[in-house]
Amino acid sequence: MKNQASSELSLPSTAVGAQTPKKSEKRRSVFWNIRSDIPNSLYYLMVSFSIVIPLFAWSLLTYGGFVDRLFMPTPGSVLMRGFELIQNGEIFQDIMASLSRVAWGFLLSAALSIPLGLLIGSFKTMEGLFAPILGLMRYMPAAAFIPLIILWVGLDEPAKIVIIFLGSFFYNVLMVSDAVKFVPSDLLKVSYTLGASRWDVFSKVILPATLPNIIDTLRVNIAGAWNFVVVAELVAASSGLGYRILQAQRFLKTDEIFVGIIVIGLIGLGIDFLFKLLFRLVVPWAIDKA
Amino acid sequence: MFNILSNQLLAMTSIPELEINNLNKSFPTKDGELLVLENINMKVYKNEFACIVGASGCGKSTLLNIIAGLNQQTSGEILLEGRPVNGPGADRGMVFQNYTLYPWLTVAENIEFGLKLKGISSSERKERVDHYIEIVGLSKFAKSLPKTLSGGMKQRTAIARALANEPDILLMDEPFGALDAQTKGVLQEFMLQVWKQTQKTILMITHDVEEAVFLAQRIYVLSSRPGRIKAEVDIPLGVDRDFSVKRTELFQLVKQEVLDLLREETLKVISQEIS
């Protein structure tokens, strides 16, 4: 077993050794260029490493027999399990259940936090009224409210939506109110000299000026909401990806846990992509030219 | 043309478009009240191009902000066509040093912004936007977003936006301060043309003496800390000027006179800072 390991590990090390003399030429290497472009080929090589190396390590550990397959399944078995779950359609039910919870919780959170954030960012009075209490509540972890939520709201769907709401609401408010402060004050001043009333400045200047930041805020914070759906489903649920993972653990189906986690990650990536797309469509003027 | 000019000169001697009487401004600080503007008295006549020059930190921007109604004076009055100024309004257009275009609106939409606020009909809006976009020479860029424009084009758009509102007076706070020297020179000439074409009353702030002498009919020199009107200088260069006037002896003389006045102030500030 040990021999096998050393022979496999020695392979990459010689490959690196062969490359070093080439790099030590007079010209400075582009590899450690600070904040500047590198050739596309090098960039995509690094991208492929970021996928291949973890996959290689995983394969090595599992196929090489270094870990018990009960604790860590092989990539092949995870893939197989994934196909099975897709074929019998179970995974789609879980995805839909989790997605709808996030959608409701986060929509509710956005619908209340965006106006509140805009108010706090625009008016010192509103900042005084809301900022201290919201600042305190932000430091209370949403997960710590779960027992209270179960007592107050119960174990059903509303409880999960409340958890997701609490997990994203305070950060949304904070970041939206900050976005207002990034609007240059000269932009507001010039609007007054063009005849704008306070309401005009709020609705026709502050609102459109902060829209790119609002979309970005939602993109960042929906990642948190997506995490909380799993937490909520771990507590009490009979469907959803979190529930699927918990069930799989009970029956020691490690491969299914892996499938669940990977699907959660991929959906998160998809949501992120959708928000970036939304940004390009809604506020094309805010895309950097560079 | 000659008629217009003589009318202009006639107007200058009669009606003050803007009148500032005994204006003071102080800010509260932890060491007590800090006086930034002291006993400011000045007039800007109809169709006149006036400049305020002063060393940095003399309170000239504060003064312009007070005239625009964005800031409140501690005492004294500001009269626009005889009416006291109270708060900001579309009758005083303003152009800032920093680019203040709405980045989500095109050039034409930026110029249209104030007209929409006024509730002007869409056909008249289009007419006015077309007119002023023509004056600043940006017709080809009507549908461009500000991020695609150069600094000089941005300022021309900002000027057109302020003019399209047809204010009684145009206030400009170092409008060319952020531009490179070449663009600045071209825009100064452009500004003279715009002034002659639109016959606007303009009050501009700058620390660039050459710019002030080139553009203005009258210069107010502001002293430093607190800002007072140190001198009022009439610029005897006539109304029709172009770039070549900068090479004349008269121009150089006037420029030197204003520079000397300012130099005293700058030296005063520096000696204050050292002590």
Q: Do B192 and B242 reside in the same domain of the chain?
A: yes
Do residue B133 and residue B56 come from a single domain? no
Interchain CB distance below 8 Å, A184 and B69: no
Q: Is the pTM of this model over 0.80?
A: yes
ipTM: 0.89
Mean pLDDT of chain B: 87
Residues B11 and B112 in one domain: no
Model confidence band, residue B236 (pLDDT cutoffs 50, 70, 90): confident
How far is it, in rounded angstroms, from Cα B61 to Cα B96?
A: 10
> A186: distance to nearest CA of chain B, Å?
6
Q: How confident is the model at residue B219 (pLDDT cuts 50, 70, 90)?
A: very high
Closest among B154, B170, B171 to B110, alpha carbons compared: B154
Asked whether residue B131 falls in the same domain as residue B211, the answer is no
User: Residue B94: its chain A contacts at CB < 8 A?
Assistant: 189-190, 193
Whether residue B127 sits in one domain with residue B10: no
pLDDT of residue B154: 94
So where are chain A's domains?
24-67, 87-286
Question: Is the Cβ–Cβ distance between B115 and B164 less than 8 Å?
Answer: yes
Q: Are residues B79 and B185 in the same domain?
A: yes
Choose the final residue of a domain: B124, B143, B166. Answer: B166
Question: Which of B70, B104, B162 lies at the smallest CB-CB distance from A192?
Answer: B70
Cis status, amide bond into A12, omega within 30 of 0: no
Residue A25 or B203, more confident: B203
Pairing of strands B218-222, B229-234: antiparallel
A205 touches chain B (CB under 8 A): yes
**CA–CA distance, A211 with A140 (Å, rounded to integer):** 28
Q: Which residue in B80, B91, B104, B169 has the most chain A C-beta atoms within 10 A of its own C-beta, making it the best mutation to test that interface?
A: B104
Claim to verify: residue B146 and residue B253 sit in the same structural domain: no
Amino acid at B180: D
Average pLDDT on A88-110 reads: 93
Residues of chain B positioned with their CB less than 8 A from the CB of A192: 68-70, 88
Position B173 in a domain: no
Which residue of A195, A208, A283 is in closest CB contact with B117?
A: A195
Helix axes A90-122, A254-282, angle to 10 degrees: 40
| Order of strands, sheet of B32-45, starting from the edge strand that comes earlier in the sequence | B32-45, B16-29, B75-80, B83-84
Per-residue confidence at B157, pLDDT binned at 50, 70, 90?
very high
Distance from CA of B103 to the nearest CA of A (A): 7
Residues from chain A that touch B93, judged by Cβ atoms under 8 A, are: 193-194
pLDDT band (50, 70, 90) for residue B2: very low
| Per-residue pLDDT reduced to its tens digit, B248-261 | 888 899 999 889 88
Please give the pLDDT value at position B9: 54
The string of pLDDT tens digits covering residues A122-160 is: 999 999 999 999 989 988 888 888 889 889 988 888 999
Measured between CA atoms, the residue of chain A closest to residue B67 is: A193
Provide, as residue numbers in chain A, all residues whose Cβ is less than 8 Å from the Cβ of B117.
194-196, 200, 204
Residues B259 and B123 in one domain: no
> Per CATH, which fold does A87-286 belong to?
MetI-like fold (1.10.3720)
Asked if A190 lies within 8 A of B96 by C-beta distance, the reply is yes
pLDDT tens for A190-246 read: 999 999 999 999 999 999 999 999 999 999 999 989 988 888 888 778 889 999 998
Establish if B174 belongs to a structural domain. Answer: no
- Tell me, yes or no, whether B18 lies in a domain: yes
Residue A269, pLDDT score: 93
User: Facing residues of B233 across strands?
Assistant: B219
Distance CA B81, CA B220 (A): 20
A285 forms bridges with which residues in the sheet? none
Please compute the mean of the pLDDT values over residues B15-29 and round it to a whole number.
87
Whether the pLDDT of residue B11 is over 60: the answer is no
The percent of residues above 90 in pLDDT, for chain B, comes to: 42
Q: How many domains does chain B have?
A: 2
**B144 is in which domain, residue-wise?**
95-166
A193–B90 CB contact, under 8 Å = yes
Q: Check whether residue B159 and residue B33 sit in a common domain.
A: no
Tokens of A260: 């669940």
Query: Using CA atoms, how far apart are residues A240 and A264, in angstroms rounded to an integer?
Result: 10
- pLDDT at residue B13, as a whole number: 54
Whether residue B50 sits in one domain with residue B9? yes
| DSSP classification of residue B227 | B
pLDDT recorded at residue B8: 53
**What pLDDT, on a 0 to 100 scale, did the predictor assign at position A17?**
46
